A and B are shown apart, each in its own frame.
Chain A
Amino acid sequence: MRPGAGAVWRASRAAVRRRGVQTFVLGVVVFCSTVAIVVALGLLESVSAPFERAFEGQRGAHVVASYDPLKAPPAALAASNEGVEAAAGPFAQATVTIPETFEHLPPGPLTVVGRPSPAGPVDRLDLWAGRWAAAPGEIVLDRPPNAFFSYLLGVRFTVREGQAFTVVGLASSVSRSSEAWVTPGQAATLRPSATQMLYRLAAAATDAEVRAGAAAIAAGLPGGALLGFQSYLTVKRDAGREVAAFLPFLTAFGVLGLVVAVLIVVNVVSGAVVAGFRHIGLLKALGFTPGQVVAVYLTMVLVPAVAGAALGTAAGAAAARPLLNGVGQGLFTVVVSPWVYAATLAGMPAVAVLAALVPALRAHRVSAARAISAGAPPGRGRGLRVQRLLAGRRCRARSVSGWACRSGGPAAPRSRWRRWCSARPR
Chain B
Amino acid sequence: MNTQRHVVRLGDVHKEYGATRALDGVSLDVRAGDAVAVMGPSGCGKSTLLNMIAGLDRPTRGTVEVAGQDLGAMNETELALFRRRHIGMIFQFFNLIEDLPALDNAALAAQLTGTPARQARDRAAELFEELGIAGRKDAYPAVLSGGERQRVAVARALMNRPALLLADEPTGALDSRSGEQVMDLLIDLNQIGQTLLIVTHDPGLAARCASRTVELGDGRVVAEHGLSEHGLSEHGLPEHSPERAS
Q: Which residues of A contact B (CB under 8 A)?
A: 3-4, 6-7, 10-11, 14-15, 17-19, 279, 282-292, 367-370, 372, 377-378, 391, 398-412, 414, 416-418, 420-426
Q: In the docked arrangement, what's the CA distance between A291 and B89, Å?
A: 21
Q: In the docked arrangement, what's the CA distance between A391 and B91, Å?
A: 18
Q: In the docked arrangement, what's the CA distance between A418 and B58, Å?
A: 33
Q: Are A17 and B99 in contact (CB under 8 A)?
A: yes
Q: Are B99 and A412 in contact (CB under 8 A)?
A: no
CB neighbours (8 Å) of B97 from chain A are 11, 14, 279, 282-283
Q: Specify which of B104, B114, B188, B238 is in contact with A417 (CB 8 Å cutoff).
A: B188
Q: Does B192 contact A (CB under 8 A)?
A: yes
Q: Specify which of B85, B108, B127, B204 is in contact with A399 (CB 8 Å cutoff).
A: B204
Q: Specify which of B94, B95, B100 is in contact with A10 (CB 8 Å cutoff).
A: B100
A237 to chain B, nearest CB (A): 63
Residue of chain B at shortest CB distance from A371: B56
Residue from A287, A400, A425, A426 having most chain B Cβ neighbours under 10 A: A287
Q: In the docked arrangement, what's the CA distance between A410 and B242, Å?
A: 27
Q: In the docked arrangement, what's the CA distance between A423 and B193, Å?
A: 11
Q: Specify which of A377, A406, A410 is in contact with B131 (CB 8 Å cutoff).
A: A410
Residue of chain A at shortest CB distance from B241: A403
Q: Are B204 and A403 in contact (CB under 8 A)?
A: yes
B47 to chain A, nearest CB (A): 8
Q: Does B173 contact A (CB under 8 A)?
A: yes
Q: In the docked arrangement, what's the CA distance between A426 and B132, Å?
A: 28
Q: Are B89 and A285 in contact (CB under 8 A)?
A: yes
Q: Are A7 and B192 in contact (CB under 8 A)?
A: no
Closest 3 CB pairs of A and B: A402-B204, A287-B84, A3-B114
CB neighbours (8 Å) of A370 from chain B are 57
Residue of chain B at shortest CB distance from A421: B194
CB neighbours (8 Å) of A401 from chain B are 176, 179, 204
Q: Specify which of A10, A17, A19, A282 is in contact with B111 (CB 8 Å cutoff).
A: A10
Known contacts being A10-B104, A367-B58, is A285 close to B113, with CB within 8 Å? no
Q: Are A286 and B112 in contact (CB under 8 A)?
A: yes
Q: In the docked arrangement, what's the CA distance between A401 and B47, Å?
A: 22
Q: Specify which of B91, B100, B181, B201 is in contact with A11 (CB 8 Å cutoff).
A: B100
Q: Are A11 and B161 in contact (CB under 8 A)?
A: no
- Which secondary structure dominates chain A's binding surface? helix
Q: Are B176 and A416 in contact (CB under 8 A)?
A: no
Q: Are A378 and B94 in contact (CB under 8 A)?
A: yes
Known contacts being A11-B100, A425-B161, is A6 close to B193, with CB within 8 Å? no
Residue of chain A at shortest CB distance from B171: A402
Residue of chain B at shortest CB distance from A418: B192
Q: In the docked arrangement, what's the CA distance between A7 and B133, Å?
A: 23
Q: Are A402 and B173 in contact (CB under 8 A)?
A: no
Residue of chain A at shortest CB distance from B116: A6
Known contacts being A287-B84, A287-B112, A418-B192, is A372 close to B95, with CB within 8 Å? yes
CB neighbours (8 Å) of A10 from chain B are 100, 104, 108, 111, 117
Q: Are A285 and B184 in contact (CB under 8 A)?
A: no
Binary flags per residue of B197-215, CB closer than 8 Å to A gives 1, else 0:
0000111110110000000
Q: In the docked arrangement, what's the CA distance between A423 and B81, Å?
A: 20
Q: Are B130 and A368 in contact (CB under 8 A)?
A: no
A378 to chain B, nearest CB (A): 6
Q: In the docked arrangement, what's the CA distance between A408 and B184, Å?
A: 8
Q: List 7 A-B contacts (CB under 8 A).
A: A10-B117, A287-B113, A370-B57, A404-B243, A407-B177, A421-B189, A421-B192
Known contacts being A279-B97, A412-B131, A414-B188, is A399 close to B203, with CB within 8 Å? yes
Q: Are A282 and B95 in contact (CB under 8 A)?
A: yes
CB neighbours (8 Å) of A289 from chain B are 76-77, 80-81
CB neighbours (8 Å) of B130 from chain A are 410, 412, 416-417, 420
Residue from A286, A398, A404, A420 having most chain B Cβ neighbours under 10 A: A286
CB neighbours (8 Å) of B85 from chain A are 287
